[in-house]
């Protein structure tokens, strides 16, 4: 499965990897008809800031031939910076903490696997099915 290959290559590119959630499959909600997504959350022990992490993420997406043609459309790889300890960013192309992460079960469920405190005040929106496929 090509999506899983891109996902594994992306994870392998990060240094100081602290933890990786299981792999989850999510059916798309809204947007054009397309295959399901694979989702994971990783935790890093890094001195990189949010901007540097975003630049690395965009390089990974480019390497995976990501095309940004249709909003919520199919993609080979989508890497988001969710949260950086001690850092808040509010710029046109980067907001940290991620402003919609608590609206997305496909983010919160794997995130809660690694850092359960993020689930303390989370209410599952029940939008979109999230299925755990495997351990990392």
> Is residue 78 among the annotated active site residues?
yes
Catalytic residue, from 8, 51, 66, 132: name it: 66
- The gap from C-alpha 54 to its chain's centroid, in whole angstroms, comes to 12
* Catalytic residue from among 35, 75, 100, 104: 75
Planar angle of CA 104, 42, 30, nearest 5 degrees: 25
CA 100 to chain centroid: 12
Contact 132, 26 (CB under 8 A): no
**Residue 18 contacts by C-beta under 8 Å, 6 or more apart in sequence?**
42, 43, 44, 45
66 catalytically annotated:
yes
Which of 44, 48, 36 lies closest to 12, judged by CA? Answer: 44
Q: Residue 5: helix, strand or coil by DSSP? A: helix
Among candidate residues 8, 51, 63, 78, the one labeled active-site is: 78
Catalytic residue among 51, 80, 93, 100: 80
Give catalytic residues, as residue numbers.
66, 75, 78, 80
């Amino acid at each position: 499965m090509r999506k899983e290959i891109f996902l594994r290559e992306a994870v392998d590119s990060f240094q100081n990897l602290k933890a990786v959630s299981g792999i989850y499959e999510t059916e798309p909600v809204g947007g054009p008809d397309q295959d399901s997504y694979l989702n994971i959350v990783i935790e890093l022990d890094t001195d990189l800031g949010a901007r540097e992490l975003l630049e690395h993420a965009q390089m990974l997406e480019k390497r995976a031939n990501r095309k940004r043609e249709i909003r919520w459309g199919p993609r080979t790889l989508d890497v988001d910076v969710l949260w950086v300890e001690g850092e808040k960013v509010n710029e046109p192309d980067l907001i940290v903490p991620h402003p919609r992460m608590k609206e997305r079960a496909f983010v919160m469920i794997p995130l809660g696997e690694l850092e359960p405190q993020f689930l303390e005040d989370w209410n599952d929106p029940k939008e979109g099915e999230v299925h755990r496929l495997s351990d990392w």
